[in-house]
Amino acid sequence: MTREDFERRITDLLPDVSDQAMKNWLEYAENLDRDGTETESEIFDRSYVELALIKRHQSVETAAALFNYGEKFVFNYFELRGAAELLKEGWPLERISDHAVENGCDPTLEAMEESHAALEEFQSGKWDTRENKRKFSSDLSQGIRQFYALEQGLGGQDGTFSEWIRAAYEINEDFDQSFAEIVSGLCGAFHDADAQYGRDISRQLYNTLAVVLPTEIRSAAQYLSLGGSLDHVPALALVGFLMEPQNHDSMLRAVKHMNDGGDAASAYYAAEGEVFKDHSPQCQQTM
């Protein structure tokens, strides 16, 4: 994973992550990468997996204590499981770090095998899928509250939040992302549309579910704000037009094209001001 991914994942995994500890962990990985010992991405993957396993088997407090001790001393990722066991036995962190320097903190064979299997699962993507499924129940409860609050804020049609919950699930049936991320992305798109293009437009899109992806919601709101028809929105989404952000003039050309009876499949060319062939009549237009 990247440095940014590591920071985000650790912050999500552990409470009260120390800024100084994070800085030292990043420098630790950077130095080993520079020396040619191991790549940054591999160190980040392995460190995250070890801390997640410690959180699972010992406690979140133990994992956080080991990470935040990075303010003074960064444990090698392969010593974290052993250090966690010593911490569980009552050793103070200072003594554990001294022990690691002098003798190492080797984990048990069983822990090593588990770490190896967990790393493979993580790097294959199966780890995230499993975690996203595991968190679904709690994410669902939070998602219902978020969509209900959005509905109240927009003055949306009563009960439409349940349709958005279903849409959010269908968008991510394979659980590539957490349900919470999907819901936050959708709610964020509506808040952006509301702020930029007004309550009537954001409410229309909310009530009709004409589009159900964040990028499409923002683009559809822009399209409607320039005089486009809501009836055109599903067709434009179907051909992928709303997945590409357009500037004001480009979107205005697309609106004119559609309002003049143009084909959604040609909207992109119209937006670019290019010569294109309409699909229905035998005609050629230049925008």
Mean pLDDT, rounded, of the chain: 93
β-bridge pairing 284-286 and 275-277 = antiparallel
pLDDT at 283: 43
Q: Which residue has the higher pLDDT, 266 or 287?
A: 266
Q: Each residue of 20-78: pLDDT tens digit?
A: 999 999 999 999 999 998 999 999 999 999 999 999 999 999 999 999 999 999 999 99
Please give the pLDDT value at position 128.
Answer: 87
pLDDT given for residue 117 in this prediction: 94
Average pLDDT in the 79-107 region? Answer: 95
Is the pLDDT score of 278 beyond 80?
no
User: Is 54 in contact with 62 (CB distance < 8 Å)?
Assistant: yes
Mean predicted confidence (pLDDT) in 174-180? 91
Quick: pLDDT tens for 179-234: 999 999 999 999 999 999 999 999 999 999 999 999 999 999 999 999 999 999 99
Does 176 share its domain with 237?
no
* 93 plus 149 within the same structural domain: no
Q: Is the pLDDT of residue 285 over 50?
A: no
Give the residue from 60, 95, 124 where a domain finishes. Answer: 124
Check residue 279 and give its pLDDT.
Answer: 46
Looking at the structure, do residues 32 and 66 belong to the same domain, yes or no? yes
**Residue 115 and residue 97 in one domain:** yes
Neighbours of 220 (CB within 10 A): 29
Q: For residue 216, what are the domain limits?
A: 211-287
Cα gap 124→134, rounded to integer Å: 17
Q: How confident is the model at residue 275 (pLDDT cuts 50, 70, 90)?
A: low
Say if residue 219 is in the same domain as residue 196.
no
More confident residue, 170 or 277: 170
Pair (120, 42) in one structural domain = yes
**Residue 282 pLDDT > 70, yes or no?**
no
- Claim to verify: residue 43 and residue 82 sit in the same structural domain: yes
The average pLDDT across 112-123 equals: 94
Last residue of a domain, one of 65, 96, 124: 124
